[in-house]
């Protein structure tokens, strides 16, 4: 087993990195071998010898010359740094050469988010009474084309509701099981990054929506499902997958007034965080809700939209109150 194989096993089984992160880091290491050694099958001794400031700097230059963005190049360097830290832990390296490399400057962008009014318009399209009526119609003809359309519509709305109301990551949404929902306590148990578990309160309307959806699923499946089965499934009974969730978000929010630009599950997560901050929610509470490991990750949401900032300024600043004149 090569050092790279051992490292991949380490970050998969011990560090519990997500499968996506593992794949990315593995691809970076394979690309490093391709660029520096012109092949992917090199001895461990040769690989260790190439992990120095000069070679890694050359790798960085090659990536930039290929036209990769500063953000992507920084990701490559982070993956190499992680690998070098592992090699240090195992006694193969004395220091981390990546620390000697100056990473390209990455422009920080404020999170994109949807305004509260736009989301209220989306959720206001269907009343609870209409939800119940559509469920009755679905049960009457669940195995017809119209029945499938009603199911897909209910599933799509629930996807948006869960992402926005709970601030879930896409992977967290997909990993929810029937047992994740505790109707007795009105909470949902979410498994986040690093398999960290957190509990998020469920508002009454979301509880009702989940209940109606489960009723529809039981009609399709022919009975109750086990607690370990996926909460959200397609009409054909398959688990959701990333591209499916992305497609739902783009389709559902595509014609909503006030929603422009990028439409993704993460933007819905940003939207919840932004609205909570605008309502003066304690930032530590938001950190726990979102499942951030550090407060620094949550602080990126502390931007305040300029319209609200102007309102606060005009109502609170002493000189703004008197038109900028000196004195009382």
Provide the pLDDT for residue 5: 94
pLDDT at 106 over 80: no
The DSSP string of 246-293 is HHHHHHHHTT-TT--S---HHHHHHHHHHHHHHTT--HHHHHHHHT-S
Provide the pLDDT for residue 317: 59
Query: Are 134 and 153 within 8 A, CB to CB?
Result: yes
Provide the pLDDT for residue 143: 78
Q: How far is CA 93 from CA 50, 76, 83, 270, 325, in A?
A: 11, 19, 10, 40, 66
Indicate the average pLDDT of the chain. 85
pLDDT at 322 over 70: no
Residue 211 to residue 215: CA distance in whole angstroms: 6
Nearest CA-CA partner of 59 in 50, 46, 48:
50
* pLDDT class of 326 with cuts at 50, 70, 90: very low
* pLDDT class of 323 with cuts at 50, 70, 90: low
pLDDT tens-digit series, residues 245-260? 999 999 999 888 888 7
Average pLDDT over residues 173-202: 92
CATH number of 3-100: 1.10.150.130, 3.40.50.11740, 3.30.360.10, 3.30.420.40?
1.10.150.130
Topology match between the domains 3-100 and 116-308? no
Query: Are 241 and 159 within 8 A, CB to CB?
Result: no
Provide the pLDDT for residue 328: 47
Average pLDDT over residues 230-240: 92
pLDDT tens-digit series, residues 177-190? 999 999 999 999 99
* pLDDT class of 316 with cuts at 50, 70, 90: low
Alpha helices in the chain (DSSP H): 3-9, 19-37, 44-50, 53-65, 70-89, 116-123, 128-140, 145-166, 170-175, 204-221, 242-253, 265-278, 283-290, 295-299, 306-316, 318-321
CATH class given for the domain over 116-308 = mainly alpha
pLDDT tens-digit series, residues 9-43? 999 999 989 889 999 999 999 999 999 988 878 89
Q: Which of 138 and 276 is assigned the larger pLDDT?
A: 276
Q: For the chain, which residues make up each domain, given as ranges?
A: 3-100, 116-308
The three-state secondary structure class of 108 is coil
């Amino acid at each position: 087993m090569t050092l790279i194989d051992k490292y991949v096993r380490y970050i998969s089984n011990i560090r519990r990195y997500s499968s996506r992160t593992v794949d990315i880091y593995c691809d970076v290491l394979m690309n490093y071998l391709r660029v520096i050694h012109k092949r992917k099958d090199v001895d461990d001794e040769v690989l260790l010898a190439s992990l120095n400031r000069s070679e890694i700097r050359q790798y960085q230059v090659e990536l930039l010359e290929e036209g990769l963005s500063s953000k992507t190049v920084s990701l490559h360097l982070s993956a190499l740094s992680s690998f070098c830290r592992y090699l240090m832990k195992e006694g193969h390296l004395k220091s981390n050469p990546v620390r000697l490399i100056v990473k390209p400057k990455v422009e920080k962008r404020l999170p994109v988010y949807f305004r509260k009014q736009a989301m209220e318009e989306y959720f206001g399209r269907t009343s609870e009474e209409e939800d119940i009526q559509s469920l009755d119609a679905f049960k009457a003809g669940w195995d017809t084309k119209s029945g499938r359309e009603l199911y897909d519509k209910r599933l799509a709305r629930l996807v948006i509701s869960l992402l926005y109301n709970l601030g879930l990551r896409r992977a967290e949404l997909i990993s929810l099981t029937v047992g994740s929902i505790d109707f007795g306590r009105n909470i949902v148990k979410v498994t986040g990054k690093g398999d960290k578990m957190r509990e998020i309160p469920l508002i009454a309307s979301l509880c009702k929506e989940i209940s109606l959806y489960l009723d529809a699923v039981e009609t399709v499946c022919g009975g109750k499902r086990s607690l370990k089965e996926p909460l959200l499934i397609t009409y054909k009974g398959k688990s959701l997958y990333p591209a499916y969730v992305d497609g739902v978000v783009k389709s559902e929010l595509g014609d909503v007034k006030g929603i422009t630009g990028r439409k993704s599950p993460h933007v819905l997560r940003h939207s919840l965080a932004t609205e909570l901050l605008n309502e003066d929610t304690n930032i530590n509470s938001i950190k726990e809700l979102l499942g951030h490991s550090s407060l620094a990750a949550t602080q990126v949401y502390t931007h305040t939209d300029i319209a609200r900032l102007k309102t606060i300024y005009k109502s609170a600043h002493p000189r703004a109150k008197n038109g900028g004149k000196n004195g009382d």
